[in-house]
Amino acid sequence: MISWELKKLLKPTWMFIVLGLVTAIWIAMMYFVSASGEQRIVGRFFSYWSVLGSLTFGGIILFVSTKLFSLDSEERIKEVVLSTKYGKRRLLGIRFCTIIIFTAIVFSLLTVIQFVGLRLFTDKISSVLNEQYISQLFIIFIGSELFTIFAACLCIIFSSHTVTITICSFLFGWTYILRTSFGAEEISFFTFYGVLERGFFSYLMRADFISNISLSSFSIWYGLLMAMTIGLMLTIQSRRHEL
């Protein structure tokens, strides 16, 4: 059943066209800094997720994986699906497992693209495989999986893929806007601007400022956010008799 659902997510050809375009852009970016020496190449390598990688990843999550939860309504087969032996609670679990696997696949593909750009212009790949890079990848992976689950819950709550994209795109974009506005200025986490900048998953998916991440603050905030979102989704599902 998971493989069947996964095929739905891997079906859009435009997604692979986008990944090909990202690969071309990334290689071009690495090419332009390659003349400045290995230090610039490594610096560019670590900046991959700050804009290009994270924006691509976020877009694929919103436009591909989240759509899995609205296909039944759009195709007018929701009632039929819910009445089968795979319907309701079991189907919900299968689909959440599917999007988690799908996000891991996309994460792996984007990471490969990052290394392809590096490998074309330097042989010293081992120089970037350090604790900083492993920490960066770990934070990006966790952030992307949380964002996937959060967006899926919103899609279920509102029963609309369009509404989900609108809300999540607005929240996702604030990290980039505020970082541009304030530059390197430090903003306290538990303030209005601090929550806008760091309180949504795009901050984790960029992994620009690992040294500034307070594990306790982030664990409390994202733990409460995910618990409330999942709790609200399950409550609404139960009231709709879809569990």
pLDDT tens digits, 175-223: 887 765 554 455 566 666 777 777 789 888 988 765 555 677 788 889 9
Q: Where do the domains of the chain lie?
A: 2-239
Q: Taking all residues of the chain, what is their mean pLDDT, rounded to a whole number? A: 85
CA 195 – CA 41 distance, rounded (Å): 33
Q: Which of 57, 56, 82 is nearest to 69 (CA)?
A: 82
Helical ranges in 71-159 per DSSP H: 71-74, 78-82, 88-119, 131-158
Q: Which two tokens stand for residue 200?
A: 């949504």
Q: Which residues contact 238 (CB under 8 A, 6 or more apart)?
A: none
pLDDT tens digits, 160-182: 899 999 999 999 988 887 765 55
Q: Which of 216, 205, 156 is nearest to 58 (CA)?
A: 205
- pLDDT of 184 reads 46
Over its length of 243 residues, how does the chain's per-residue pLDDT go in tens digits? 788 889 888 888 899 999 999 999 999 999 999 888 888 898 899 899 999 999 999 999 999 999 888 876 665 556 555 666 656 678 888 899 999 999 999 999 999 999 999 989 888 777 788 888 888 899 999 999 999 999 999 999 998 899 999 999 999 988 887 765 554 455 566 666 777 777 789 888 988 765 555 677 788 889 999 999 999 999 998 887 776
**What angle (nearest 5°) sits at the alpha carbon of residue 211, between those of residues 221 and 224?**
5
